[in-house]
Structure 1
Amino acid sequence: MATAPPLISFLLISAAVLLTFPAAISSIGVNYGTLGNLPPPTQVANFLKTQTSIDSVKIFNVDPNILRAFAGTGISVVVTVPNGDIPALANGMQARRWVSANILPFHPQTKIKYISVGNEILLTGDNNTISKLLPAMRTINSALVRAGVRDVKVTTAHSLNIIAYDLHGAPSRGRFRPVWEKNILAPILAFHRQTKSPFMVNPYPYFGFDPKNVNFAIFRSPYKAVRDPFTRKIYTNMYDALMDSTYSAMKALGYGDVNIVVGETGWPSACDAPWCSPANAAWFNLNIIRRAQGQGTPLMPKRRFETYIFGLFNEESKPGPTAERNWGLFRSDFSPVYDVGLLRGGGRGRPAPALPAPSTAGGKWCVAKSGATNAQLQANIDWVCSQGGVDCKPIQAGGSCFNPSSLRMHASFVMNAYFQKNGRSDGSCHFSGTGVVVRSNPSDGACKF
């Protein structure tokens, strides 16, 4: 896990996405750390298989006890080569020995999906290890092929300090740091394209956000939309901007087609500051899960990101500040720290934590400005109705607000619904300058605002 990616100047504006969790969710991966008084791997594997919809785990070593525990569960496992082992593994013979000792005894009974060669190597500043990273990836891949293992892909996890953000802060201008771009990352991306393996990144809005603009990092409102001046794309949260900056950096090198996997992301439920809470952690991860299921980002719409949330457990033995011990979805007794719908039966598929009922006390409504164009009005309808949390059925044929069949009326209805759901703050009626707060009730007949 990265500790201090660079501050991103343009991201220091609060924002959020209103989210209602779907009735059923697809699976999600988790990082399985072991620094604490945690249950044995066999219990963990059984818990994940029988009581959750989690179908993949990522571990930070090649612990044989964990690999044996997940045999026959159908849960895929990402293993990690310890950083210190990388220089030796650049040697082909050593790589073959490593694969023989750490992969072949367990696969395919245990569904090893990826081998991450180290974790955030560029962040270490160890030039010897950095120079041996790609050679080790190649030799391990060759050792797998030689052993007849073709369904295990080789990758490495990167901290987002690999990105150099320009003064504009535009995601479309995201580029890799020049010191690594041509000599390190371009060849790694070429390897991924050749082997059809993913580029793994660890986007953490938690690190580097402005404390005055926490909402932009955790998908909460009120927010002021950020528009990329080059693409005109609108960003309502820091995570999408991080992901699109990464994509832009890859595309600038000619590798925009390489698949991206999110190796780590999350939000702590406790820390030494007020912005860490179970509610904020749940809200963050609910939005992350939604993106993993295909919501995508402004530059990668509808794209699914295989995602590993950090982490499975609160790890009580981790050193450092309070946050380090409070990233888990579950406690050591398997009780949830908060519910994001991953539990089967009683927990799985439950809706997100209920928002307060919208209040209209004081007479405030949000409607479309008279000067808004039809294209802007339609864009507002599409955006609100795509986010979830607002019932757009009333403006559809047969709905109570379908007539009068006016684009302005329909847009005003959904904009106001969003405004009411977000506490009637003026910022949630901004809509890129096309919304206005009024004091007179705009309801029309059966169409109640």
Structure 2
Amino acid sequence: MMRAHVLHLLLFQIVLTLILPFSAAYHIGVNYGTVANNLPPPHQVVNFIKTKTNINHVKIFDANPDILAAFSGITGISLTVTIPNSDIVSLSKLPNARSWLSNHLLPFLPATSIRYIAVGNEIIATSDKTLIAHLLPTMESLTLALHLANVTGILVSTPHSLGILSGSSEPPSSGTFRRGYVKTIFAPILDFHNRTKSPFMVNPYPYFGFGPETLNYALFNSSDVVVFDPVTKMNYTNMFDAQLDAVYSAMKRVGYGDVDIVVAETGWPSAGEPNQTGVGLEYAEAYNRNLIKHVNSGKGTPLMPNRVFETCIFALFNENLKPSVSEQNFGLFKPDFTSVYDVGIMKN
């Protein structure tokens, strides 16, 4: 096992000069979830995205061949495909990674534009020691499998919840990774991203972090300073920036502040349980509309100024088979393609 790991590292040193950073051409994308029984077929979905919206990146939660085929020949829209959590242990072995690539992605390349492979989703949050231990080896084996298949331009990452941070991470400069995970998990993962020029993916959700007194702060609706960081002397008027800067502080503390950050998921539900605070059409519209405006402004965050973060909104559709009312109502669109609310991503 150790010899195989060393072989991976040696091969990386040979091939990484061929993997170049991708220009920040993608701003707003969307997560295309399919936990529903009333969604239109993929070819209709792709046609809608292409002809009616300004969305230029789509993240899916598997490597659904019908979806990959529907995006074939579509220019200007790239994809993130996802390795299911259940496949992570198997794909840590190079032969299995090469086989997965041959069966699931190679038949659709290069006609379908695939930008990222996401290995699992929020693996650290599962607390599954076996999955966590195999996360980086799988990222390495898939990167090597891509090289051996002469595939360029696809980067490998894994999305993290903000549960990777220790404590409240407020002020943002105090952001640190969870105790016990820094040297064994995050330093090696960030080293992988640094070597492969792939991004560190996070899922910041101010929706899960606000209280009644911080609702406007979470919705980008405050022009007043809500959080002042006494260490950096930086002011924060929205929670999204504070969350990203807490992640950045944790990364910088480990020595990898230069690794790019991609927002793999963020969103706000348009409906929820009875009397649920801060949930409804006006709140979801405010968050996502303000988010898009903020990301596309290029202002970045107080600790990462003048940066545009690739950001994928959750989600494309309302998904009626999710377990709770709020989870069923994160969509920008209903299954018949009518807008749940308008966030300014429609053409014309």
| TM-score, normalisation: structure 1 | 0.69
Which whole-Å CA distance do the structure 2 matches of 1:196 and 1:33 have between them? 27
- Specify the SS of the correspondent of 1:31: strand
Query: Which residue does the alignment assign to 1:29?
Result: 29
- Specify the SS of the correspondent of 1:72: coil
CA offset at residue 222 of structure 1? 7.4
Query: Which residue does the alignment assign to 1:207?
Result: 208
Query: Which residue does the alignment assign to 1:8?
Result: none
Say if 1:92 and 1:139, in contact at 8 Å, map to a contact too: yes
The answer to whether residue 319 in structure 2 is matched with residue 315 in structure 1 is: yes
CA offset at residue 197 of structure 1? 0.5
Counterpart residue type for residue 45 of structure 2: V
Of 270-279 and 46-55, deviating more is: 270-279
Query: Which residue does the alignment assign to 1:285?
Result: 288
- Specify the SS of the correspondent of 2:108: coil
| TM-score, normalisation: structure 2 | 0.89
- Specify the SS of the correspondent of 1:30: strand
Which whole-Å CA distance do the structure 2 matches of 1:72 and 1:305 have between them? 26
- Specify the SS of the correspondent of 1:322: coil
CA offset at residue 208 of structure 1? 2.9
Which whole-Å CA distance do the structure 2 matches of 1:116 and 1:82 have between them? 9
Say if 2:31 and 2:313, in contact at 8 Å, map to a contact too: yes
CA offset at residue 224 of structure 1? 4.9
Q: 1:113 aligns with which of 112, 115, 124?
A: 115
Which whole-Å CA distance do the structure 1 matches of 2:60 and 2:248 have between them? 25
Q: 1:305 aligns with which of 296, 302, 309?
A: 309
1:163-192 alpha-carbon deviations (Å, 9 max, x no partner)? 1136x8210110111221111011011001
Larger Rg: 1
- Gaps spanning 5+ residues in structure 1: where? 1-25, 346-449
Say if 2:142 and 2:156, in contact at 8 Å, map to a contact too: yes
Query: Which residue does the alignment assign to 1:131?
Result: 133
Task: Summarize the alignment of residues 232-251 of structure 1 with structure 2, pairs less than 5 Å apart.
Answer: 232-251=233-252
The answer to whether residue 183 in structure 2 is matched with residue 196 in structure 1 is: no
Say if 1:215 and 1:223, in contact at 8 Å, map to a contact too: no
- Specify the SS of the correspondent of 2:337: coil
Counterpart residue type for residue 314 of structure 1: N
Query: Which residue does the alignment assign to 2:187?
Result: 186
Say if 1:155 and 1:197, in contact at 8 Å, map to a contact too: yes
Counterpart residue type for residue 302 of structure 2: P
CA offset at residue 225 of structure 1? 2.7
Query: Which residue does the alignment assign to 2:15?
Result: none
Of 63-72 and 217-226, deviating more is: 217-226
Which whole-Å CA distance do the structure 2 matches of 1:139 and 1:80 have between them? 15
Task: Summarize the alignment of residues 136-285 of structure 1 with structure 2, pairs less than 5 Å apart.
Answer: 136-165=138-167, 169-221=170-222, 223-272=224-273, 273-285=276-288
- Gaps spanning 5+ residues in structure 2: where? 1-25
Aligned-residue Cα RMSD (Å) equals 1.4
Say if 1:198 and 1:259, in contact at 8 Å, map to a contact too: yes
Say if 1:60 and 1:82, in contact at 8 Å, map to a contact too: yes
Which whole-Å CA distance do the structure 1 matches of 2:193 and 2:163 have between them? 20
Query: Which residue does the alignment assign to 1:406?
Result: none
- Specify the SS of the correspondent of 1:262: strand
Say if 2:333 and 2:340, in contact at 8 Å, map to a contact too: yes
Counterpart residue type for residue 98 of structure 2: R
Which whole-Å CA distance do the structure 1 matches of 2:341 and 2:203 have between them? 22
CA offset at residue 217 of structure 1? 1.2
Which whole-Å CA distance do the structure 1 matches of 2:259 and 2:90 have between them? 28
Query: Which residue does the alignment assign to 1:370?
Result: none
CA offset at residue 27 of structure 1? 5.3
Say if 1:291 and 1:305, in contact at 8 Å, map to a contact too: no
Say if 1:78 and 1:112, in contact at 8 Å, map to a contact too: yes
1:84-118 alpha-carbon deviations (Å, 9 max, x no partner)? 10001111111110111111011111001100000
Say if 1:215 and 1:222, in contact at 8 Å, map to a contact too: no
- Specify the SS of the correspondent of 2:216: helix
Query: Which residue does the alignment assign to 2:90?
Result: 88
CA offset at residue 214 of structure 1? 1.6
CA offset at residue 271 of structure 1? 1.0
Which whole-Å CA distance do the structure 1 matches of 2:223 and 2:293 have between them? 20
Say if 2:27 and 2:309, in contact at 8 Å, map to a contact too: no
Query: Which residue does the alignment assign to 2:22?
Result: none
Structure 1 residues 134 and 104: CA distance shift in structure 2, 3 A: same
Which whole-Å CA distance do the structure 2 matches of 1:85 and 1:92 have between them? 13
Which whole-Å CA distance do the structure 2 matches of 1:188 and 1:27 have between them? 24
The answer to whether residue 334 in structure 2 is matched with residue 344 in structure 1 is: no
Which whole-Å CA distance do the structure 2 matches of 1:102 and 1:67 have between them? 9
Counterpart residue type for residue 41 of structure 1: P
Say if 2:225 and 2:236, in contact at 8 Å, map to a contact too: no
Counterpart residue type for residue 145 of structure 1: H
1:188-223 alpha-carbon deviations (Å, 9 max, x no partner)? 110011111110000001113223432221122475
Q: Which has the higher helix share?
A: 2
Say if 2:217 and 2:239, in contact at 8 Å, map to a contact too: yes
Identity of aligned residues (%): 54
Say if 2:217 and 2:226, in contact at 8 Å, map to a contact too: no
Query: Which residue does the alignment assign to 2:23?
Result: none
CA offset at residue 336 of structure 1? 0.6
- Specify the SS of the correspondent of 1:164: coil
Counterpart residue type for residue 182 of structure 1: K
CA offset at residue 226 of structure 1? 1.6
The answer to whether residue 53 in structure 2 is matched with residue 52 in structure 1 is: yes
Query: Which residue does the alignment assign to 2:12?
Result: none
